A and B are shown apart, each in its own frame.
Chain A
Amino acid sequence: MTNLYAAATRDELWLHGRLVERRLAHGLAIEDEHGIRAADARDDALVDACDAAMDELHAYVVPDARTRFVVEASADGVTRTIVVTLANRSVVTTPEHFEHDIALLRDAMDGDAAPRSLPFLWKHGSAAVLLHEAIGHPLEHGQPPIELPSWLTVDVPLRQRRASFKDVPLERMTNVVTRQHEAPFTLPEERIEIVLVDSGAYDPLTEVVTLRIAAANLVERARVQSMAPFTISEARRNIARAIVGAAGEPLRYPGVICSREGQELVVGSYAPLLLTELA
C-alpha cells in the first residue's frame, strides 16, 4: 500500500514590527513497504493557499513583540498559528483568539516572589499542559494509564502526525481536553496561581514530568504578588494523586507547541480550573 503526503508551509518572523525571516517549504512524501521517499515537490494550490493565509495574518503583527506566523496547507486544510513573545513569555494563538491571548500575555507580570509550598491553582486552562505531559505523552509511548480522580476525565485523541514532508509520522496528540464532573473545589486563601507555562517535558524512562512556569502569582489572602519563573518536576503518579479539585468548564489554554523527535506540532489544550497539592 502506498501513502502520499503533500504539504506547503510558509513562516515569517517579525521583530518589533519588522520582517526579519521569511521561509517557504513544500514537499511530497511517498510511503510504501520500502520506507519513505521525500522530495521538495511543489503543489501550486497548496502554496497559493499558504500565501493567501499569510497575507491575512499580517494584520496580527504585534509592534512591540516578537511575532512568528506559521501557515501550513495540506489535504487536511489550512492551519494558521501565531506565536507572540514578549519579555521571554509567549502565547501560541490563532486569529480567532488573538485579542484574548495577547491580553493574557500582557497581564502576565514579572515578579520576584519565591515559590512556597502552597497549593497550585491552574488558571486559564494551564492544567491542560500539566496533563499533556502526565497523561498525553505516556499514552503516546504506550505506557499504562494512571488513576485520576473519578470526577476528572482527560480526552487525548492520538493520530499519525508529522511536522514536515521529511519527517516520519508518529502517533501524536491532537488535543488535550480535560473536564470535571461535579468535582470538589475549595479555593485556598493562600495559593500559587499558574498563569503561563513556558515549557514542559516528559521522560518516559523515569515517568517524571517537568514544567517551567513562566508566569504565576503568589496569593496570600488579599495580597497578590507576581512570582519569578520556577520549575516543577514530579513523577506523573504523584501529579495524579495531587489533583484535589476542579471547577468550571474547560478553558482554552493559548497553545502548546509539542516537540518530539524534533517534530514541533501544535496541540489544542483545554482544562477547567484545577487545584493540585504537590508535596
Chain B
Amino acid sequence: MIYSKRGSVVRWENGALVRVKESGVAHERGELFECHPDLERRALSPSDVDASRLVEVVRAVRELAREVTIERLIVIEGTAEHEYGDHQWSDHTQRIHLSLIRARKRALLDLASFDLRDVEKVAAALARTDGVEREAPRRLRLAPNVTAALLPSLVAIAPPNVRLVQTAGGVDGYGAPVIESAGPWPNAYRPSYRVRPVRMPLRLRIECDVTDIERDRPTAIALTAPISMMDAQLLARVLIDDGQRVFPSTVRIARIDAVSAPAALYPYGGGSFGAEMML
C-alpha cells in the first residue's frame, strides 16, 4: 500500500522565515522502502499556514527572554494531510525549540504548542542563576518539561516503581488508532514521508502508584543538555530552582518516588506527556 502526505509548513529559524510546501509518497515492498515527491498531489496541498501568528510567537518569546540571551529559536507551524490505503487523516503541528543562555549556562526547551508558560518560567529563573554548578539536592522535584524529556530514555531502563504506557488517541504512521499499551509497542512512528515507519511508543506517559508531590522540594525546571547515559545510568543535566538560588546541576536518575497525573504533551520521541516527578 502507498502512503502519501501533502503539507504546508512555516518555520522561523534563528531569524529566517521559511515557507515549505511539499507532497510525497512512500511504499514498502518486502524489505525495500522507497519514497519520492508527488507533484500531482501537491496541487491538493492544504493552503499556506499563516505566518503572522508565528511571528507573534517569536516576538512574545523574545520579550519573555529579554533578560537572557536567545542562543537558538526555532518556531514551526504546519498542517498535513495523510492517506494510507483507505485511511485518511490530517494533523496540525506546533513546535518551539529554544535554547537560552546566561552566565555560560544553557537552558533547553522543546514544546509541542505555542503555550509560553514554560518559556516565561525558565527564562525568569535563568536570569537569576550565577552559573555555579552545585551538587543536586538529595530530594528533588522534576518539572513536567524535564520529565517528558526523560521518558523515551526510561523505556529502555524500565525502572522499578513506575510504568511507561502508550496513551490512546489519534492515529499512527499507518493510520491505525493509537491504542493504550504498555508494550510490546503496537503502533508505528512516521515523522516524515521520507522516513521508514518504526514501531515505538507514541504519546508516552509515566505512571506511579504514588502521585502526591511534595511542593517544597527544589525543582529541576529545565534541561541544560540533552539526556545522556553514563555507566548504564541516566544522567540529566538540569537547572535547579531551590526557592533561593537557581543553579546548574547533574542528576542521576535512580529511584523515582512519585509521579503526578500527566499534563501537556512534549515533542520527545513519538510524543511524551510531561508530569511532575519526585526523585
User: Measuring CB to CB, which residues of chain A are less than 8 angstroms from any residue of chain B?
Assistant: 18-27, 34-42, 166, 168, 205-206, 261
Q: List residues of chain A with CB within 8 A of the CB of B105.
A: 205
Q: A20-B32, A25-B37 are in contact. Are A205 and B106 (CB under 8 A)?
A: yes
B19 touches A (CB below 8 Å): yes
Q: A20-B31, A27-B22, A205-B104 are in contact. Are A168 and B16 (CB under 8 A)?
A: yes
B116 touches A (CB below 8 Å): no
Q: Which of A21, A26, A38, A261 contacts B21 (CB 8 A)?
A: A38
User: Measuring CB to CB, which residues of chain B are less than 8 angstroms from any residue of chain A?
Assistant: 13-14, 16-24, 31-37, 39, 42, 71, 101, 104-106, 194, 196
A107-B22 Cα distance, complex, nearest whole Å: 44
Q: Which of B19, B42, B194 contacts A35 (CB 8 A)?
A: B19
User: B194, A168: Cβ atoms under 8 Å?
Assistant: no
- SS of B interface (majority): strand
User: A24, B32: Cβ atoms under 8 Å?
Assistant: no
Q: List residues of chain A with CB within 8 A of the CB of B106.
A: 205
A21-B34, A35-B19, A36-B19 known, 19 other contacts, Cβ within 8 Å: A18-B31, A20-B32, A21-B33, A22-B32, A23-B36, A23-B194, A24-B36, A25-B36, A35-B17, A35-B18, A38-B20, A40-B22, A40-B23, A40-B39, A40-B42, A166-B18, A168-B13, A205-B105, A261-B13
User: Can you spell out 12 A-B residue pairs with CB atoms less than 8 angstroms apart?
Assistant: A18-B31, A20-B33, A21-B33, A24-B35, A24-B36, A25-B37, A26-B37, A40-B23, A40-B24, A42-B37, A168-B14, A205-B106
Nearest chain A CB to B65 CB, angstrom units: 16
User: B37, A206: Cβ atoms under 8 Å?
Assistant: no
User: B18, A24: Cβ atoms under 8 Å?
Assistant: no
A1-B101 Cα distance, complex, nearest whole Å: 34
Q: List residues of chain B with CB within 8 A of the CB of A40.
A: 21-24, 37, 39, 42
Nearest chain B CB to A177 CB, angstrom units: 28
User: B101, A205: Cβ atoms under 8 Å?
Assistant: yes
The list of the 8 closest CB pairs from A to B, nearest first, reads A35-B17, A24-B36, A40-B22, A40-B37, A168-B16, A36-B18, A38-B20, A39-B21
Which residue among A21, A24, A34, A166 has the maximum number of chain B CB atoms within 10 Å of its CB? A21
Q: Which of A18, A22, A36 contacts B16 (CB 8 A)?
A: A36
Nearest chain B CB to A6 CB, angstrom units: 13
Nearest chain B CB to A224 CB, angstrom units: 29
Q: List residues of chain A with CB within 8 A of the CB of B34.
A: 21-23
A20-B31 Cα distance, complex, nearest whole Å: 6
Q: A27-B22, A40-B39, A42-B37 are in contact. Are A206 and B104 (CB under 8 A)?
A: yes
Query: Which residue of chain A is the closest to B105 with respect to CB atoms?
Result: A205
Q: Which of B19, B23, B71, B194 contacts A25 (CB 8 A)?
A: B194
Nearest chain A CB to B184 CB, angstrom units: 23
Q: List residues of chain A with CB within 8 A of the CB of B23.
A: 40
Q: List residues of chain A with CB within 8 A of the CB of B22.
A: 27, 38-40, 166
User: A24, B37: Cβ atoms under 8 Å?
Assistant: yes
Q: List residues of chain B with CB within 8 A of the CB of A35.
A: 16-19
Query: Which residue of chain B is the closest to A39 with respect to CB atoms?
Result: B21
A40-B194 Cα distance, complex, nearest whole Å: 13
Query: Which residue of chain B is the closest to A37 with respect to CB atoms?
Result: B19
Nearest chain B CB to A160 CB, angstrom units: 12
A247-B13 Cα distance, complex, nearest whole Å: 43
Nearest chain A CB to B6 CB, angstrom units: 10
Query: Which residue of chain A is the closest to B37 with respect to CB atoms?
Result: A40
Q: List residues of chain A with CB within 8 A of the CB of B36.
A: 23-25
